[in-house]
Amino acid sequence: MTTIEVDGRRIEVPSGFSVKEALEKLGYNITLHPSDKGLFMPCQVGGCWACALKIDGEARPACTAQVQEGMRIRTAAPMGTPRRMVAGFMGHKTGGVGTPWWLESGLGFIEAVCFTSGCNLCCPQCQNWRYAFMDVGEPLTPEEAAERMTETKKECGVERIAISGGECTLNRPWLVSFIRLLREQNPIARIHVDTNGTILTEDYIDELVGAGMTDIGIDLKALRTSTFMEMTGLLDEGLATKYLQTAWEAVKYLHDSHPQVFLGIGIPFNEDLISIAEIQEMAERIVSIDPWIQVCVLDYRPEFRRPDLVRPSHWEMLEVHYILRDCGLQSVVCQTERGKIGPAGRLLG
């Protein structure tokens, strides 16, 4: 056993426990959705630093920090400047779900992008798992990340900045501060947030827009909770339902309350993960909001824990394109092995 001090109480916990596990054992409520009361610890890998607590006087992620003899933990102490893991500052030639399709020319970079670490989902077929589950390196402050991002943008010769992941929204104070600094340093740049939308509440959206976000891509992984759970690796049906509902509500709220923000929606396709029927239902729901919302269908390929998946062919994706057009969507883009199919049914670039 290991003796630690938590909020002034000296207690014993099993040796080898993480701080998060110790807090759970002591009765602290650990939450995976920020609207729930308790200590928000969404990623479990030490990437997002949303769970950072004052441990022996320093901010450290509770989900990965191991208890040590005599460790002092403060769960409500001011944390100072937020930090999180960020990597992959680079130029992007194809853009993302929230990138207007007509910008893709194949002639150069469209955006400068960075990838935040940590995700609240654990998709077996994660297409970006190298960043999503990374906890190696030094966490960056918003100031440090903004400086690197601004320099990357200049090197790429673009006026678009994309923040992807992992899931960039998990550490709210960090993201809001990062976007605000990017806006100050890049007054005319478009700032694009790429997200799964699962914790994007209305007040959070308002704060991001107020900070300077101009574009957003929300990856809607399913319509049915059962599909969403299989797609994301979640085992808690209640949490999965809440995440899925939050993401769909975020789309509606953005459309209705912030029409100045460019909104793109991502829909995954692989016949082993989601049916054509469900994709049609998703399209119909999007049409009920606005048939002109850009919808990008992503051809999920074998990745991470699903090397058995077979990537949909170009012709399968073209068929999906026309199915969604028949549902009433007017701005459908399909990612394929040959490139992106644009709204007119032809390859872009």
Maximum Cα–Cα distance across the chain = 66
Q: Per-residue pLDDT tens for 222-266?
A: 999 999 999 999 999 999 999 999 999 999 999 999 999 999 999
Q: What pLDDT digit, counting tens, does each position of 327-336 carry?
A: 999 999 999 9
Would you say residue 314 has pLDDT above 90?
Answer: yes
C-alpha 28, offset from chain centre: 26
| Banded pLDDT at 135 (limits 50, 70, 90) | confident
DSSP 3-state assignment of 139? coil
Residue from 46, 45, 13 nearest 28 by CA: 13
Cα(168)–Cα(86) distance, rounded to whole angstroms? 9
Please tell me the distance from the alpha carbon of residue 175 to that of residue 183, in angstroms, as a whole number.
12
Q: What are phi and psi of 264, to 5 degrees?
A: -120, 150
The predicted pLDDT at position 108 comes to 92
Q: What is the mean pLDDT of residues 73-96?
A: 93
In whole angstroms, how far apart are CA 167 and each of 68, 121, 218, 332?
A: 30, 9, 11, 24
Where in the chain are all domains bearing CATH 3.10.20.30?
2-74
The answer to whether residue 136 scores a pLDDT higher than 80 is no
In this predicted structure, what is the pLDDT of residue 79?
A: 85
Q: Tell me the percentage of the chain whose pLDDT exceeds 90.
A: 93
Span 247-257, pLDDT tens digits = 999 999 999 99
| Superfamily, domain 2-74 | Beta-grasp domain (3.10.20.30)
When the candidates are 3.40.50.2020, 3.20.20.70, 3.40.50.2000, 3.20.20.80, the CATH number that belongs to 86-341 is 3.20.20.70
Which ranges in the chain belong to alpha helices (H)?
19-25, 129-132, 142-156, 172-185, 202-211, 225-232, 237-257, 276-289, 314-326
Query: Using CA atoms, how far apart are residues 335 and 348, in angstroms rounded to an integer?
Result: 10
Q: Which regions of the chain carry the CATH code 3.20.20.70?
A: 86-341
Backbone angles phi, psi at 279, to 5 degrees: -65, -40
* Average per-residue pLDDT for the chain: 96
